[in-house]
A and B are shown apart, each in its own frame.
Chain A
Amino acid sequence: MSALGKMTFTETKLMLRDPATAIMTLAFPLFLMTIFGIIPGFSEPYEGFNGAAVIDTFIPGVTVLVVLAVLGLSVMPVYLATYRERGVLRRLAASPASPTLLLVAQILVNVLLAIAAVVLLILFARFAFGVEPPANPAGFVLAFVLSTTTVLSLGLLIGAVVKSSKSATAIGLAVMFPLLFLAGVWTPVELLPGALSTIGTVTPMGAALEAIRDSWGGAFPDPLQLGLMAGYTVVLSAVAARTFRWE
């Protein structure tokens, strides 16, 4: 097996051996869908969403986004910071392994977990609450892939520079909540005041949520948002790679 394959496989095993993260990530979609699925009215057509029910696209979109946010801005940066703090990165830096190997493996592990969570969400929403799966599958896959790379590159940047796992946690949360707010997770962008809603749709997570909701509802995501996310990914991961510190 190649070094990358072995590294990814090993990191996956390590994540499963400390199963709290994987269980929380996979249980979260079920929990959120159930809560909102049983709130009266959320399954009814809602005029603010042009007649779609809240649980049709908004709740699934928010769920996907929050899964990505938790993995990208909390789990991964804390993992990398802990590795740095304990000297795991230092040991690796003294081996012939390329510096990017661990980062790529970490991203792959988290992407795998995110994919598992989304598949579970789609199946659970469909069979428990009759929510239709993404109506534009190609658009959804594209939106999901770009959303994932956007959020994970942001997390990579945090994980690249923080000194300790404590500051990784703090910075991750400090970045996560404003971005989730601007993305319209608490108040959908349709209901945010004008300027704020415009700002919201161009932030990394706002663009992600819009693209995911659009494609879930059947439309192809807005090229503006796809382009924005591609741009965020390139810039953030490039900065992360340049600033990455082994110790």
Chain B
Amino acid sequence: MPIIEVEGLAKSYGDHVALRDVTFSVEEGEIFGILGRNGAGKTTTVECLEGLRQADSGRISVLGMDPSEQSSELRGQLGVQLQESALPDNMKVWEALDLYSSFHKHPADWNSLLDEWGLAEKRGARFGKLSGGQKQRLFIALALVGNPRVAILDELTTGLDPQARRDTWQLVERIRDKGVTVLLVTHFMDEAERLCDRVAVFHDGRVAAVDSPGAIVAGRGSGQRVSFTPSEPVGDDELLGLPDVTGVERKGELITVSGTGDLLQVVTTALARKEVVPKGLQVHQAGLEDAFLALTGAATTDETEESAR
């Protein structure tokens, strides 16, 4: 039986429709990703799951409870890490854990959480003096202080440097290894691909697809791209005439050929026959990003840059 079930969720803020029709379910013990652009309805959905917001229509069941009816009971078993939240700057790390553990009936031992999340050295440090990664780890520890069965992590790695992001991914896997079901909200494709057992792709207030990252990629055609700079000029027609080639793009001297099947071999063989050397040859295998684009129909680059700032 699913640990989280969402059916036909809809929510509007005035004229703005945030959720049109959101349906998915999460099985116990998995890392389930909610993937989408800003404004796709990811955060609104998890806020409804957490009982922070009330949907206009639809049905939600988290651990068998309705968040709008049994919010305080549910929050006792739900670990939550929120976007745009903070602690008072002068609060010390141990005080935060001590305080938040007092909200729970059966809290975890927060001293071992400190060790486990690498915060033991920062025990007496004030929140305002912590680095981004340390704050994030403290928020994870706070989310786990009530021994939750489900942890909801919203944009966990946004604003972290690449090394800290990679470290955080390991932490997420560790949470799951403890038997906690993880709902991971993200707009990073690599993060979803690396961590999630299954992903719900959100687009414009709807779920465009739910499946494992691999199945989502496979379902959208396994496109490939081969790019190179030819030593001698090559015409578009010569490339388009090859089997398996579906398109050719040029950027200055750089040619990108897209297609399916044995694309690399087809292209290199054809070039060798004409005695053209492909310089700087690169092969790009379609991934979740390409599948995401196919599902949602536009580039994500703007947003990824924005959030990386």
Return chain B residues, CB-CB under 8 Å to A14. Answer: 88, 90-91
Return chain B residues, CB-CB under 8 Å to A17. Answer: 90
Does the CB pair A1–B90 fall under 8 Å?
no
A163-178 CB contacts (< 8 Å) to partner B:
none
The reply to whether the CB of B72 lies closer than 8 angstroms to some CB of chain A is: yes
Q: Are A90 and B102 also in contact (CB < 8 A) when A14-B91, A18-B90, A96-B76 are?
A: no
The stretch from B79-87, B108-116, B248-256 touching chain A is B79-87
The stretch from A81-89, A125-133, A194-202 touching chain B is A81-89
Does the CB pair A87–B99 fall under 8 Å?
no
Within the complex, what minimum Cβ distance (angstroms) separates B85 from chain A? Answer: 4
Q: Are A86 and B76 also in contact (CB < 8 A) when A2-B102, A93-B52 are?
A: no
Within the complex, what minimum Cβ distance (angstroms) separates A15 from chain B? Answer: 9
Does the CB pair B86–A95 fall under 8 Å?
no
Return chain A residues, CB-CB under 8 Å to B99. Answer: 6-7, 10
When the two chains form the complex, which single residue of A2, A86, A93 contacts B86, counting CB atoms closer than 8 Å? A86
The reply to whether the CB of A98 lies closer than 8 angstroms to some CB of chain B is: yes
Return chain B residues, CB-CB under 8 Å to A13. Answer: 95
Q: How many residues of A contact B (CB 8 A)?
A: 23
Return chain B residues, CB-CB under 8 Å to A246. Answer: 52
The reply to whether the CB of B75 lies closer than 8 angstroms to some CB of chain A is: yes
Does the CB pair B86–A87 fall under 8 Å?
yes
The reply to whether the CB of A39 lies closer than 8 angstroms to some CB of chain B is: no
Return chain A residues, CB-CB under 8 Å to B139. Answer: 91
Q: How many residues of B contact A (CB 8 A)?
A: 25
A1-29 CB contacts (< 8 Å) to partner B:
1-3, 6-7, 10, 13-14, 17-18
> CA–CA, A98 to B85, complex, Å?
18
B39-75 CB contacts (< 8 Å) to partner A:
50, 52, 72-73, 75
> CA–CA, A2 to B95, complex, Å?
14
Return chain A residues, CB-CB under 8 Å to B24. Answer: none
Does the CB pair B75–A95 fall under 8 Å?
yes
When the two chains form the complex, which single residue of B73, B103, B146 contacts A3, counting CB atoms closer than 8 Å? B103
For B72, B82, B99, the residue with the greatest tally of chain A CB atoms inside 10 Å of its CB is B99
Return chain B residues, CB-CB under 8 Å to A93. Answer: 52
The reply to whether the CB of B100 lies closer than 8 angstroms to some CB of chain A is: yes
> CA–CA, A95 to B143, complex, Å?
9
Does the CB pair A90–B85 fall under 8 Å?
yes
Q: Are A94 and B50 also in contact (CB < 8 A) when A10-B91, A87-B86, A88-B88 are?
A: yes
Interface string of A94-110 (1 = CB under 8 A from B): 11111000000000000
Does the CB pair A96–B104 fall under 8 Å?
yes
Within the complex, what minimum Cβ distance (angstroms) separates B152 from chain A? Answer: 9
Q: Are A91 and B86 also in contact (CB < 8 A) when A96-B76, A96-B146 are?
A: yes
Does the CB pair B82–A94 fall under 8 Å?
yes
Look across to chain B and name the residue whose beta carbon is closest to the beta carbon of A16: B90
> CA–CA, A87 to B87, complex, Å?
7
Return chain A residues, CB-CB under 8 Å to B142. Answer: 91
Return chain B residues, CB-CB under 8 Å to A94. Answer: 50, 52, 75, 80, 82, 85
Look across to chain A and name the residue whose beta carbon is closest to the beta carbon of B154: A94
> CA–CA, A205 to B250, complex, Å?
77
Within the complex, what minimum Cβ distance (angstroms) separates B130 from chain A? Answer: 14
Does the CB pair B87–A91 fall under 8 Å?
yes
Look across to chain B and name the residue whose beta carbon is closest to the beta carbon of A97: B103
Return chain A residues, CB-CB under 8 Å to B76. Answer: 96
Does the CB pair A96–B103 fall under 8 Å?
yes
> CA–CA, A83 to B91, complex, Å?
12
Within the complex, what minimum Cβ distance (angstroms) separates A101 from chain B? Answer: 8
The reply to whether the CB of B193 lies closer than 8 angstroms to some CB of chain A is: no
Does the CB pair A95–B102 fall under 8 Å?
no
The reply to whether the CB of B98 lies closer than 8 angstroms to some CB of chain A is: yes
Return chain A residues, CB-CB under 8 Å to B84. Answer: 87, 90
Q: Are A6 and B98 also in contact (CB < 8 A) when A14-B91, A94-B80 are?
A: yes
> CA–CA, A6 to B82, complex, Å?
23
Within the complex, what minimum Cβ distance (angstroms) separates A83 from chain B? Answer: 7
Return chain A residues, CB-CB under 8 Å to B80. Answer: 94-95
Given contacts A17-B90, A87-B84, A95-B80, 15 further A-B contacts (CB under 8 A): A1-B102, A2-B102, A3-B102, A6-B98, A6-B99, A10-B99, A13-B95, A14-B88, A91-B86, A94-B82, A95-B75, A96-B72, A96-B76, A97-B103, A246-B52
A–B pairs, 17, beta carbons within 8 Å: A6-B98, A6-B99, A7-B102, A10-B99, A87-B82, A87-B84, A87-B86, A88-B85, A88-B86, A90-B82, A90-B84, A91-B82, A91-B142, A94-B75, A96-B73, A96-B75, A96-B104
CB-based closest 3 A-B pairs:
A91-B85, A87-B85, A94-B80
